[in-house]
């Protein structure tokens, strides 16, 4: 539990905007205190933090880039200082390609950037926090913790204009399996959420494209997904409401992943 509190603590990367903010809000309403990180400075996220605090959460923000080794360690040290414990890690932070480029033309710079942020960062942040969770479990048998990866339907749906993004998210999906396997002996479940077409600032530039696809029958549920949809699913897992399910994946895609004739 967090210091001087009966509330559990969750770390949400990229937790002050878009899907991450939807997750943070749902966790705050579910009784979690929050550590959130992002690359923006504190002034840019103050309104988001105020909204989370109004739900009763203690919230601390750390400006950190998860793709940088020193920042990941500093982030974990920050959580230890502020809360003295951590129950849930939400690997949410991620980026889209700066330019959508056909894989026949795409360059290595974009590929390397996405792999650092979307795959390497969460993988090694999980390593750091998993070690800490194991320590907490060894000192307190009642400790409960879990890790939740936010990937994408792009882990299995091919988009040749953003191959780097698809590969990074496919890597996150394998990471879920790897960490679930490794942490099973410690009673630390690992889950994955695969959002589909979610209305955020990341998808603002392709609104017309997806409006048309949705109107044309792409989805079984004819609407955009929302950060709140993702937040509710993450909170359900974080609370432990779906036990005996480590390694499992929840697809929040409006039925997009169902093959149809």
Which active-site residues does the annotation give?
Answer: 165
Between β-strands 59-63 and 33-38, what pairing exists: parallel, antiparallel or unpaired? parallel
| Backbone dihedral angles phi then psi of residue 198, each to the nearest 5 degrees | -110, 135
**Other CB atoms within 10 A of residue 11 CB:** 26
Q: Which two tokens stand for residue 110?
A: 């974009």
């Amino acid at each position: 539990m967090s210091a001087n509190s009966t509330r559990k603590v969750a770390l949400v990367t990229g937790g002050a905007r878009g899907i991450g903010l939807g997750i943070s809000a749902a966790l705050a309403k579910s009784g979690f205190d929050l550590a959130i990180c992002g690359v923006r400075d504190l002034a840019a996220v103050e309104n988001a933090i105020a909204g989370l605090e109004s739900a009763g959460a203690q919230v601390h923000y750390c400006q950190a880039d998860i793709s940088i080794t020193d920042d990941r360690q500093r982030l974990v040290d920050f959580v230890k200082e502020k809360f003295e414990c951590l129950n849930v890690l939400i690997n949410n932070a991620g980026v889209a390609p700066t330019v959508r480029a056909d894989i026949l033309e795409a360059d290595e710079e974009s590929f390397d950037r996405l792999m650092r942020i979307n795959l390497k960062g969460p993988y090694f942040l999980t390593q750091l926090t998993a070690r800490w969770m194991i320590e907490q479990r060894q000192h307190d048998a009642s400790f409960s913790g879990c890790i939740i990866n936010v990937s994408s339907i792009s882990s299995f749906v091919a988009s040749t204009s953003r191959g780097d993004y698809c590969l990074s998210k496919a890597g996150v999906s394998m990471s879920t399996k790897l960490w679930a396997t490794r942490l099973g002996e410690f009673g630390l479940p690992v889950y994955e959420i695969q959002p589909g077409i979610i209305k955020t600032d990341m998808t603002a530039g392709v609104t017309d494209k997806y409006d048309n696809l949705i109107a044309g029958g792409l989805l079984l549920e004819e609407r955009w997904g929302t950060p709140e949809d993702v937040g509710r699913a993450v909170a359900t897992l974080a609370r432990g409401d779906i036990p005996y399910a480590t390694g499992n994946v929840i697809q929040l895609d409006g039925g997009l992943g169902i093959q149809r004739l």
